[in-house]
Amino acid sequence: MLTEEDYKTGQVLLIDKPLNWTSFQVVNKLRWEIRQKFNIKKIKVGHAGTLDPLATGLLIICTGKMTKQINTFQGQIKEYTGTIVLGSTTPSYDLESEINKTFSTDHITNELVEETTKQFIGEIDQFPPIFSALKKDGKRLYEYARAGEEVEIKSRRITIEAFEITRFENNEVDFRVVCSKGTYIRSLAHDFGKALQSGGHLSVLRRTKIGDYHINNATSIEAFIEALDT
């Protein structure tokens, strides 16, 4: 059982983030639970890489002095699995916003889907989604988006090490992606649909790995709290 001193010295906690939670909410919840357990006023707790509310999976949470290592974790290679729906787009590139355009998918074959993935492997330029927390001129991009304001977004150089299709059925493409820091899987879904001339948006996303840390070794928030209380 971990002590107050253990958490202050520094722990790396692997949490399986549930659907509809922000990464910030997970950090706040764990910090509150640790403070309550040991009756302490302050303890540093932070996460090493945001997951969107509609994404689930591996969130690395650092406590105490281990928060100094957050940048190191953020820079590591990540693996995701998920589903891209072809034939329609949304402004947020995922299910956070409503479908705004639909396209024919009659021309899409298994072979075309497999062939198109090759365009995205290696170093590529990617535009982050307008519905993102990146800042421009002191404001987050999603603030401009929600206000209906046009804003210029610069592309970023990212690396996709693997883009594997695991299922293609009824316009749904299940995938596994291994990528560098700064990659937006929502943007990949949008660009993939565009390359197929059918539009596409992300419907499911799960982070399965960060560096050598795997989702199989992560625990739920409930299980963490239960272990804390024993």
Report, as residue numbers or ranges, the catalytic residues. 52
CB contact at 8 A, 177 and 142: no
DSSP for 33-83, please give it: HHHHHHT-S---EEESS---TT-EEEEEEEEGGGGGGHHHHHTS-EEEEEE
Q: How far apart are CA 89 and CA 102, in angstroms?
A: 7
CB contact at 8 A, 93 and 191: no
Looking at the chain, how many residues does it have?
230
CB contact at 8 A, 218 and 208: no
